[in-house]
Amino acid sequence: MKNQIRQMLEGSTRGALWFDEPLAKHTTFGIGGPAECLVYPADKSDLMQLLRLCEKYNVVTHFIGSGSNVLANSSGVEGLVISLKKTFKSFKITEGLQIITDSGVMLGTMVRQAIKRGISGLESLIGVPGTVGGALIMNAGAYGTEISRNLFEATVLTKQGKEKKLLKDQLKFSYRSSSFNPEEILIAAVFNGEAGDPDQIQTARNLASARRKASQPLQFRSAGSIFKNPVGDTPTGLLIDQAGLKGTRCGDAEISEKHANFIVNHRHATSDDVLTLIRKMKNEIFALNNIHLELEIKLLGFPNSIMKEFGHA
């Protein structure tokens, strides 16, 4: 990053700003080399100014939530990495049970507050990591529930720093996917809550929490499920298990013994280690089942050849 741009960022940003900051410290995988610049904007106007500056000087920008669904390049990430998780934290539930939240609010916080107010439909998402914004962009779901179900409206900022409001019917949601423009950053959302039976809500919450603890390797660092489930009755984890790949290692990265659709970091895994395992999983499942697995995690800061190889470009 040119010194002139670094100086302008330092002079115009009111939020937290780091240069050459290791992304391993900011992702749940614990993997990622230095970002040229990592920033937590102070507020919406600060973010607008940042986006306009990056647009004017053609600075590459990346958006991450809490880093829970991300594999960042261990060699480093060019440009500006923007996260809203520490500053975009406004949250309230109205008397009419409408949930009004900034995108940097943790999904778990929203789910817990909704349960306290007797709002049904979100309780199965308890324990799903990440921010509300990141969850909406990937249409996070668990045990038959998706976060988009009760969405009313979302607010985004363009890379020109302009604000846009999008009603739900202006967006498309599908399994672990949405039509949010990747060139825009989601800053807020409104959900229409539905009153439910408190006992049923608590029962569903407890069931989801118990299932997650029983089936996922929560004691290790990971990015969650590596692949989406393919169309059909067999989940990806079972396909990988049937292929005999549980426990396969590359360096400090391992295909989890507990859930085969997770890759865990035993301490010093690199992005190359993880990509080696991802390739092996994809190739084996295609050879055995003629199924092309699609990544659920997002790749950050890799060259175009890697992005194309894994369907990110």
Structure confidence at residue 186 as a pLDDT band (50, 70, 90): very high
Provide the 3-class DSSP secondary structure of residue 275: helix
pTM more than 0.85: yes
Q: Which candidate, 221, 210, 248, 236, places its Cα nearest to that of 291?
A: 236
Catalytic residues: 176, 225, 296
For tokens 């306009």, what's the residue?
52
Structure confidence at residue 5 as a pLDDT band (50, 70, 90): confident
Question: What confidence score (pLDDT) does residue 244 get?
Answer: 98
Question: What confidence score (pLDDT) does residue 83 get?
Answer: 95
Per the document, the length of the chain is 313
Question: What confidence score (pLDDT) does residue 187 get?
Answer: 97
Tell me which H or E stretch contains 312: none
Could you report the per-residue pLDDT of 151-167, keeping only the tens digit for each?
A: 999 999 998 999 999 99
- Tell me which amino acid residue 31 is: I
Tell me which H or E stretch contains 263: strand 263-265
Sheet bearing 249-250, strands edge to edge: 221-222, 263-265, 253-255, 249-250
Question: Which domains, from first to last, does the chain contain?
Answer: 3-83 (3.30.43.10), 91-202 (3.30.465.10), 217-309 (3.90.78.10)
Could you report the per-residue pLDDT of 199-227, keeping only the tens digit for each?
A: 999 999 999 999 999 999 999 999 999 99
End-to-end distance of the chain based on CA atoms, in angstroms? Answer: 23
Percentage of residues in the chain having pLDDT higher than 70: 100
Strands (E), 121-243: 141-142, 145-146, 151-157, 163-167, 173-174, 177-178, 185-192, 194-195, 221-222
Q: What share of the chain is helix, strand, coil (3-state, %, to 5)?
A: 35, 25, 40
Structure confidence at residue 313 as a pLDDT band (50, 70, 90): low
